[in-house]
Structure 1
């Protein structure tokens, strides 16, 4: 039986790869990490499976005055996902969401330049795409990522994370063909609680991992 927490993102990625072994060394498989914290996990998954690695940049839309609470997310290609029930519950109007989205769209573009530069995005048509993050809470960011990838006509979209609450996993089956999660604790509370070491991942770490994998 595995321990109740992961040592760090790299250990979590190696364990997650074990649950994805059926995708190993397949020419039709790509692993996409969600920056920043998902990239160390995705690096280990892609390395263990022997498949290509890239990044998919999406940004959470935090609630006004409660930035950690995601009311939605944005992704490339104009993808925008809103938790309309939560937006109504909090009484968040369009005039409050607009500056938040504008700020996050600018950060998405900055990260796109920092991590990908002018390098073209891979052709994912007909491919199996494994989307990896270090964990999920509401799942809004991953939902945006899955919808962005769906627009690229893949054969299959797989969401793979070390830890997420059961209701989030179930909800993501609306946009993914498969959801692979190692831990589904209740109560969940926060992703970082399920790691012994959970520092912020820096731009430099993301760039270094992509460079080491031949993508920088």
Structure 2
């Protein structure tokens, strides 16, 4: 785990600083997976500097019956979508296998819709490869943990979690699920991710589409 105190002007600057920290690892043929939407500007800068392909990794919460805001698991997209279920919690709230199957189907449809909206219709296969998961920051770590668990199940070779800012408690909780964590700032006490950015405005769908297209063009040009 790498961490120090820091402050960022915006997500793009944070991405460039994160890329500098990742460059010294000399990762072999990495894939950058950004959590949309806020993780995409960060991931774009990382992918550009590391000359790596960029894709999005969407995590959809599977909620309890009648209480969708109460998560019992998550669906994580990719070349082979993975379902992560807290079995004890699912039993406690009465989520039957049939209910979970229906929710997975519904969330898969939503992921496909969002991928189409973002212009990213093909998830990059990453079995056996080094995967760098990027977000603009971590608060509790629940979404990121679901993503890391799913990547383990999917057969990713090496998993690196890279974020500009996160509380140390969340990083400790996530350590078992990845091979390396790069975090630029772990302030204590930790209040909110946005407090560490001068500009933390919402990332728009248009910006996500634009950055994914630019990353794809750069990756295709580099492959020629």
Same fold flag (TM > 0.5):
yes
The residue number in structure 2 matching 1:43 is 44
- The normalised TM-score by structure 2 is 0.77
Inter-partner Cα distance in structure 2 for 1:46 and 1:20: 10
**Secondary structure class of the residue paired with 2:148:** helix
Inter-partner Cα distance in structure 2 for 1:170 and 1:183: 14
The answer to whether the 8 Å contact 1:42/1:53 transfers is yes
**Secondary structure class of the residue paired with 1:174:** helix
Of 150-159 and 109-118, deviating more is 109-118
Q: Give matches, 1:123-138, under 5 Å.
A: 123-138=125-140
Q: How far apart are 1:18 and its partner, in Å? A: 1.3
The answer to whether the 8 Å contact 1:139/1:168 transfers is yes
Inter-partner Cα distance in structure 2 for 1:193 and 1:71: 29
1:147 equivalenced with 2:146 (yes/no): no
The answer to whether the 8 Å contact 2:44/2:211 transfers is yes
Per-residue CA shift, 1:52-102, capped at 9, x if unaligned? Answer: 2111111356899996x9776431224235597xx79xxx9457x989988
**Secondary structure class of the residue paired with 2:32:** strand
The answer to whether the 8 Å contact 2:167/2:188 transfers is yes
The residue number in structure 2 matching 1:115 is 118
The count of residues paired between Structure 1 and Structure 2 equals: 206
Inter-partner Cα distance in structure 2 for 1:186 and 1:23: 27
User: Could you list the runs of 5+ residues in structure 2 that have no partner in the other structure?
Assistant: 219-224
The answer to whether the 8 Å contact 1:164/1:191 transfers is yes
Inter-partner Cα distance in structure 1 for 2:108 and 2:47: 28
Inter-partner Cα distance in structure 1 for 2:205 and 2:42: 15
Of 74-83 and 193-202, deviating more is 74-83
Inter-partner Cα distance in structure 2 for 1:189 and 1:125: 36
The residue number in structure 2 matching 1:204 is 206
Inter-partner Cα distance in structure 2 for 1:155 and 1:123: 11
Residue 83 of structure 2 is aligned with which of 72, 79, 82? 79
Residue 212 and residue 173 in structure 1: after superposition, are their counterparts in 2 closer, same or farther (change >3 A)? same
1:193 equivalenced with 2:204 (yes/no): no
- The normalised TM-score by structure 1 is 0.79
Inter-partner Cα distance in structure 1 for 2:200 and 2:105: 28
The residue number in structure 2 matching 1:178 is 180
The answer to whether the 8 Å contact 2:18/2:184 transfers is yes
